[in-house]
Amino acid sequence: MMRIQSLGLLAATFLFASLFTATAAHAERLFEMRTYITHDGRLDALNARFRNHTNKLFVKHGIELVGYWVPTTEPDSKNTLVYILAYPNQEARDASWKAFVADEAWKQAKAASEADGPIVKKVISQFLKPTDYSPIK
């Protein structure tokens, strides 16, 4: 009986520690909103690159995909992609991006997708942290 109680206490302690660690890690979580403005007529090429290559490489390098959007009104609907990524913290973000840009598969995908010319004209990056009332943390 004593052994069962000890195991139960040990399991409860482990669960509490796991929840505390997950909550603490969640508190540091960093989001990045990136807006890409493409050269004229190149939004489809950018979407194809994300769909076929970039997303897989992001995941490979520990970058969490939150979502992708295109504006609904012109002229932005013709040349703009907005997306949000998530990371455990700034250090993890920096390490993931360093590995991503050095990845040979990324270099090849980028070069192939730009065979008809450059795609992205401008990148706007903004780091975000959730508010205390945000449903996403």
Is the separation of the CB atoms in 96 and 64 below 8 Å? Answer: no
| Residue 8 phi, psi (nearest 5) | -65, -45
- C-alpha span between 93 and 98 (Å, rounded): 9
Q: What is the pLDDT along the chain (137 residues), one digit of tens a residue?
A: 444 444 344 344 443 444 444 444 445 899 999 999 999 999 999 999 999 999 999 999 999 999 999 999 999 999 999 999 999 999 999 999 999 999 999 999 999 999 999 999 999 999 999 999 999 88
Domain containing residue 85: CATH number: 3.30.70.100
The answer as to whether 9 is a domain residue is no
The answer as to whether 133 is a domain residue is no
pLDDT, position 136: 87
Domain residue limits at 69: 28-128
Task: Quote the pTM value.
Answer: 0.78
Question: Residues near 72 by Cβ (< 8 Å), separated by ≥ 6?
Answer: none
Distances (CA, A) of 102 to 26, 108, 119, 133: 28, 11, 19, 37
The answer as to whether 10 is a domain residue is no
The answer as to whether 16 is a domain residue is no
The answer as to whether 120 is a domain residue is yes
